[in-house]
Amino acid sequence: MLQEKYKTEIDEILSRYPVRRSAMLPLLTMAQREEGYVSEAAMKEIASILRVTPPQVYETVTFYTMLNLKPIGTFHIQVCKSLMCALVGSDSLLVWLQARLGIKPGETTPDRLFTLSTVECLASCGTGPMMQVNDDYYERLTEEKVDRILADLKRDGTSPLKSGPFILPEPEGAHG
Amino acid sequence: MVKLTIDGVPITAPKGTLVIEAARQAGIMIPHFCYHPKLKWDANCRMCLVEIERVPKLQTSCSTPVAEGMVVRTATTAVTQAHKSVLEFILANHPLDCPVCDQGGRCDLQDFSHEYTPTTSRFIEVKRIFPKEYFSALIETQMNRCVQCLRCVRYCDEVMDVKALAPAGRGTMTEIKHFTHHELDCEFCGGCVQICPVGAITSRLSMYEYRPWMLKRADTICTYCGDGCQITIQTKENKLIEVNTAHGAGRNNGDLCARGFFGYHASTHPDRLQHPLVRRNGELVQATWEEALGFVAETCIRLKMEHGAEAFAGLIASRCTNEDLYVFQKFMRLAIGTNRIDSSARYGQINGVRALRRVQGTHRWAVTFEDIVAADALLLVGTNITETNPITGLKVKEAVKKRTATLLTVDALVPAVGTISNIANLAAHHFPVHPDRFGHVVLGLIKAVVEDGLVDQALAHRAPAYVQAIGDAVQALSWPALESATGTTSGALREAARIFARAARGVVLVGQGVLRSPGGYGLTTNLLDLLLLTGQHGRPGCGLAPLAEENNDQGAVEMGTVAEYLPGPCDLNDPTARERIAGLWKEELPKGPGRTLTETLEEARTGKVKAMFVVGENPVGSLPHAARAKDALAQLELLVCQELFLTETAALAHVVLPACSYAEKDGSFTNTEGLVQPVRRAIEPIGESRPDWEILSALSVLMGYPIEYGDAKEILKEIRSLIPGYGLLGAGPNPPRPDEAVVSRYLREGYAEDLANRYAATQPTEKRTGHFTLLVTQSLFHSGKFSTRSTGLLEIQNTGVLGLNPADAARLGVTDGDRVRVSNTLGELTAPIKLLERIPEGLAVFPEHFDEEARRLLGVSTDPQTRVPYCKSAQVVIEKL
Ligand code: SF4
Ligand code: SF4
Ligand code: SF4
Ligand code: FES
Ligand code: FES
């Protein structure tokens, strides 16, 4: 139960908004931070905190690709499938990832290491194709780079190829 | 007013009117999906684009208000082109399954496609396909057909305030769901089914059974509660196929509740009585009408000779039509010769009517649904209004949500969001009190009015003695005592009193929690005092509205089928009325007394009453065991029941006569507001059943006192000769003004007789720890005498589940679905439980329609003034099983 564990934080979040319902996204973020995804129990609890119905919380969760409705793997790979990335080959990148991981978008590998998703534009259109893994960006991807990233993640839990997120202008030498 | 032209037609429309509405009023139909006059505009479908002069791009007419001098064109090439492309996009995904879609033939997409699109599409891509998911036993979704207009979602939120539907996902892949993969749990009002412009949400009760053009329609009135919604019953070959209503239709304005929308199959339930039954050798066996009626007439004549007319009594259900009710009392008074008549209006409605008559000389509300919507302050006492009167509840919701009325509520339930509405959630001030303390809150409000100088000046001048007397009475009450009884602060009561007193228009709605509970009559009278003191009485749009539970509770009173009234209603002993009615009937009225339901049962038990006519009423199945109705009726020498089903009462009868349901007859019902509305036959009578009035009329002939009519219309004509203007059909009710002479009499002396009682804050008995108050209440999904025969409603609720507060349940060590034993000195029952946040600690709520067992636990007390039997609550112990 979030309320038992994070009473003060929840109160603080609620105090920020004149309309109670506005606290929905911060509370959902909290729930996801807690369990890695937003569980039904969490949605019900948030509904009761905000005095809305569970369907109203659910519809919000389904709108945001950053909120997961199912438990996810250690690494959540989110491939941009919007227009700019598509023009520079995000679809073949996705095919490559699927082949390497043996899963389709929306699925998790049996070892629970990787979850693959497709998402809309992540605002790195100049450096596509790109993907986000947990909180990190990986840009100007190639098949060979993807293989290295996957290997790094498996071995070290992180990869030096990550590139942000950052705010322009790009820092020197951001892309190895 | 704003002047504009649409397609060259000059139009004037009030400021703020949307172009699409202005066009509609001028007879120009602009195609649309997402717009609906009931909902806030959303402008998400782009179907309603129009050209507006001097605006560079096409505009959505559903979201553009009219402006002075605006020139709108709805049929230019650019507009037609826009229609085409919007439809082309929708059809890129919409499946071509009209042949198997129940909406086919009344589908907006079908109609618009027919009108605006070429028959080919440029899209060759695969269509969007959603995996089919089970949605609910009553409502089917076919998301492949959805045009994503969100009307369903918005209706469920804006109108119903239920918020059960979620548009899940985004973009093309948005689908309408409930909560993740759970099946729908909501009020099942059917509103989403009705408002969906395509076949994406449909009713499973009529799935694949019809094409709209095959159906025969009858506009009639729902029989499940006093709101009196207009419904259209659609039939095919004498089979009930579906019920719906049109936007704008009836007092319900096109909205319904689950009972109205899904409850219709009760009329054709296989258990319907098809033939008369006569008891032979202890068994009820099938007989012909001639045999049955002949037997009844003969026995009546014999018993009348032996014991006189006063050995007879009659009881009728207020679900019957006015025509049935009227003929019933005329039959009892003339053919039999007794005034021992009562009806189910006795269960509560009579408390409201008696209080209104006493204080303001009307037997009806002085307000209408429109006044509820237009009120500035609404006070609801003893009602989670949605559960008994769902549509009146919608008016309250509309007042609060759309018109920003301030809502004050006094009820046992506490605010909590659930799957069905809880009106307290919308309240600015809610006073959650134990059901036997609603009166204390009202006394607190009156005390605050007196002490805080909120008494209406005009009243203070007009009736200083009255104001003084009430002032003295409330001064004698101490705030600490009231605070401890109500668990609230004097500050909160003062604030609520101030809101109500200062409102430009105040309306008080009083529900079953008051009308059917001990002290109901006195408390209703006190609410009228509150209105008088705050100057909210007698002004247009203000007043008291007691909620009628049964569809024709009001008619039952007005037709004179209660112990104290003749048709009118006129007092039974009013000599002028008696003379007038006798003149019209050309027959003397019986001189004997009227007798109420419980008095009659008592007289049957003691053998004073030997014969009873019971029409559609089921005292054995409705009253608690403590009332010993069964013992009483078993004493009778003749019990005649006119019934649809073999109820507990009918099973005791000597003769059971099969009666028609509302769907099989013509007539009228009078709703809670006092509007008389036409009931029309939708199907032929089931089996040999006949309308109740016709049965009584046939009997009267056999008994030698012919009371004959050609049809229901003739009866209404006769009713009109007694009650001028009755049921002259108008669009809305024309509420009576309070009779100032009666008000003056009340202010002068009428108030005084029971003042001390009404203003005594009885020290509520402290509950023993571990004891619960069991409340047996009506649920949203069942009402009246035959909802439990409706397949649709049984899908939603088919057993008695005891509602408990989660904290209480935790203390008892039980959770959802566990069974508990509920007991007191009278008896016990076991039932599964459901945790409900809106039920306060110490309370346990059980649905009255599944109360066969629960009725063992209830005691009965009778109102000293109105003889209403109060039998809806008990003190009990609950244990884990
Ligand atoms: S049937 Fe249920 S989901 Fe549909 S509008 Fe009514 S309450 Fe909402
Ligand atoms: S289900 Fe019907 S009403 Fe709801 S969004 Fe789809 S098309 Fe509109
Ligand atoms: S039960 Fe009452 S509110 Fe529901 S549809 Fe019938 S008349 Fe209307
Ligand atoms: S299109 Fe891929 S990041 Fe914007
Ligand atoms: S009706 Fe205007 S945009 Fe849908």
Which one-letter DSSP state was computed for residue B738? Answer: P
User: Domain check: are A13 and A49 in the same one?
Assistant: yes
- C-alpha closest to that of B665 among B225, B138, B220: B220
| Residue B230 CB contacts under 8 Å (≥ 6 apart), including other chains | B219, B220, B221, B222, B245, B249, B250, B251, B252, B677
User: Domain check: are A26 and A84 in the same one?
Assistant: no
Across the interface, of A51, A55, A63, the residue whose CB is closest to B179 is: A55
DSSP string, B52-71: ETT-SS-EETTTPBP-TTEE
In whole angstroms, how far apart are CA B694 and each of B655, B689, B718?
Answer: 16, 10, 15
Instruction: Report the nearest-CA residue for atom 3 of ligand 5.
Output: B43
Token reading at A118: 């497709």
CA of A166 vs chain B CAs: smallest distance (Å): 27
CB contact under 8 Å between B165 and A55, yes or no, is yes
Give the whole-angstrom CA distance, residue B525 versus residue B521: 6
Q: Is residue A81 part of a domain?
A: yes
The answer, for B178 touching chain A at a CB cutoff of 8 Å, is yes
Single pTM value for the model: 0.95
User: Domain check: are A152 and A93 in the same one?
Assistant: yes
Q: Is residue A43 part of a domain?
A: yes
Domain edge (last residue) among A63, A83, A112: A63
**pLDDT the model gives residue A164:** 63
Q: Is residue A35 part of a domain?
A: yes
Say if CB B243 and CB B231 are below 8 A apart: yes
**pLDDT the model gives residue B122:** 87
User: Domain check: are A112 and A52 in the same one?
Assistant: no
CB contact under 8 Å between A55 and B178, yes or no, is yes
Chain A residues with beta carbon closer than 8 angstroms to that of B417: 47-48, 51-53
CA of B772 to the centre of ligand 5 (A): 53
The answer, for B610 touching chain A at a CB cutoff of 8 Å, is no
Number of folded domains in chain A? 2
User: Domain check: are A49 and A101 in the same one?
Assistant: no
| Residue B98 CB contacts under 8 Å (≥ 6 apart), including other chains | B104, B107, B110
User: Domain check: are A29 and A8 in the same one?
Assistant: yes
For residue B699, give the 3-state DSSP assignment: helix
User: Domain check: are A100 and A151 in the same one?
Assistant: yes
Q: Helices B322-330 and B712-722 meet at what angle, rounded to 10?
A: 70
Residues lining ligand 5, judged by CB closer than 6 Å? B 32-35, 43-48, 60, 62
Q: Low-confidence residues of chain B, pLDDT below 70?
A: 729-731, 764-767
Chain B residues with beta carbon closer than 8 angstroms to that of A58: 166, 168, 177, 179-180
Query: Closest ligand 2 atom, CA of B33?
Result: 8
- The CATH number linked to A56 is 1.10.10.1590
**pLDDT the model gives residue A176:** 43
The answer, for B686 touching chain A at a CB cutoff of 8 Å, is no
Give the whole-angstrom CA distance, residue B327 versus residue B719: 10
**pLDDT the model gives residue B733:** 83
Give the whole-angstrom CA distance, residue B839 versus residue B402: 28
User: Domain check: are A134 and A91 in the same one?
Assistant: yes
Ligand 4 proximity of A103 Cβ (cutoff 6 Å): no
CA of A73 to the centre of ligand 4 (A): 23
Give the whole-angstrom CA distance, residue B295 versus residue B655: 8
Which one-letter DSSP state was computed for residue B156? Answer: I
- The CATH number linked to A129 is 3.40.30.10
Give the whole-angstrom CA distance, residue A45 versus residue A31: 10
- Give me the phi and psi of B612, to 5 degrees please: -135, 140
User: Domain check: are A59 and A82 in the same one?
Assistant: no
- Give me the phi and psi of B833, to 5 degrees please: -115, 160
Backbone torsion region of residue B774, taken as left when φ is above 0, otherwise alpha when ψ lies between -120 and 50, otherwise beta? beta
Local confidence band at A175 (pLDDT 50, 70, 90 cut-offs): low
Closest chain B residue by Cα to residue A119? B170
Closest chain A residue by Cα to residue B184? A55
Structural domains present in chain B: 2-75 (3.10.20.740), 125-268 (3.30.70.20), 298-348+552-722 (3.40.50.740), 363-546 (3.40.228.10), 771-880 (2.40.40.20)
In whole angstroms, how far apart are CA B107 and each of B25, B147, B197, B462, B531?
Answer: 22, 12, 6, 61, 49
Distance of CA B414 to the CA centre of its chain: 22
Q: Ligand 2 pocket test: pick from B194, B198, B247 the residue with the most ligand atoms within 8 Å of its Cβ.
A: B198
DSSP string, B707-733: ---SSHHHHHHHHHHHSTTTT---SS-
Task: Count the neighbouring beta carbons within 10 Å of the beta carbon of residue A74.
Answer: 17
| Residue B501 CB contacts under 8 Å (≥ 6 apart), including other chains | B449, B454, B534, B535, B536
Kindly give the pairing relationship between strand B869-870 and strand B861-862: antiparallel
Query: Closest ligand 4 atom, CA of A121?
Result: 4
Of all ligands present, the nearest one to the C-alpha of B221 is 3
Domain of residue A28 covers: 2-63
Give the whole-angstrom CA distance, residue B284 versus residue B612: 17
Token reading at B456: 């209406």
CB contact under 8 Å between A69 and B162, yes or no, is no
Say if CB B660 and CB B681 are below 8 A apart: no
Q: Ligand 5 pocket test: pick from B35, B147, B198 the residue with the most ligand atoms within 8 Å of its Cβ.
A: B35
In this predicted model, what pLDDT tens digit does every residue of B683-708 receive, in sequence order? 999 999 999 999 999 999 999 999 99
Give the whole-angstrom CA distance, residue A125 versus residue A120: 11
| Residue B724 CB contacts under 8 Å (≥ 6 apart), including other chains | none
How many interchain CB pairs under 8 A, A with B? 42
Give the whole-angstrom CA distance, residue B788 versus residue B791: 8
Q: Is residue A140 part of a domain?
A: yes
Handedness of CA B96, B99, B104, B105 (dihedral sign): positive
Q: Please give the angle made by the CA atoms of B430, B435 and B436, to the nearest 5 degrees.
A: 125
The answer, for B128 touching chain A at a CB cutoff of 8 Å, is no
Instruction: Report the nearest-CA residue for atom 2 of ligand 1.
Output: B188
Q: Is residue A141 part of a domain?
A: yes
Q: Is residue A174 part of a domain?
A: no
Say if CB B282 and CB B652 are below 8 A apart: no
User: Domain check: are A45 and A94 in the same one?
Assistant: no
Instruction: Report the nearest-CA residue for atom 8 of ligand 1.
Output: B156
In this predicted model, what pLDDT tens digit does every residue of A81-137 receive, in sequence order? 999 999 999 999 999 999 999 999 999 999 999 999 999 999 999 999 999 999 899
CA of A153 vs chain B CAs: smallest distance (Å): 30
In whole angstroms, how far apart are CA B159 and each of B3, B286, B441, B611, B787?
Answer: 31, 49, 30, 50, 25
Q: Is residue A170 part of a domain?
A: no
Give the whole-angstrom CA distance, residue B253 versus residue B398: 12
| Residue B337 CB contacts under 8 Å (≥ 6 apart), including other chains | B304, B309, B312, B590, B592
Q: Ligand 5 pocket test: pick from B36, B57, B62 the residue with the most ligand atoms within 8 Å of its Cβ.
A: B62
Instruction: Report the nearest-CA residue for atom 2 of ligand 2.
Output: B196
Give the whole-angstrom CA distance, residue A76 versus residue B361: 74
Give the whole-angstrom CA distance, residue B640 versus residue B859: 27
- C-alpha closest to that of B813 among B727, B877, B881, B761: B881
| Residue B563 CB contacts under 8 Å (≥ 6 apart), including other chains | B339, B340, B341, B342, B346, B572, B593, B594, B595, B596, B599, B867
Query: Closest ligand 4 atom, CA of A85?
Result: 2
For residue B679, give the 3-state DSSP assignment: strand
User: Domain check: are A51 and A115 in the same one?
Assistant: no
User: Domain check: are A15 and A38 in the same one?
Assistant: yes
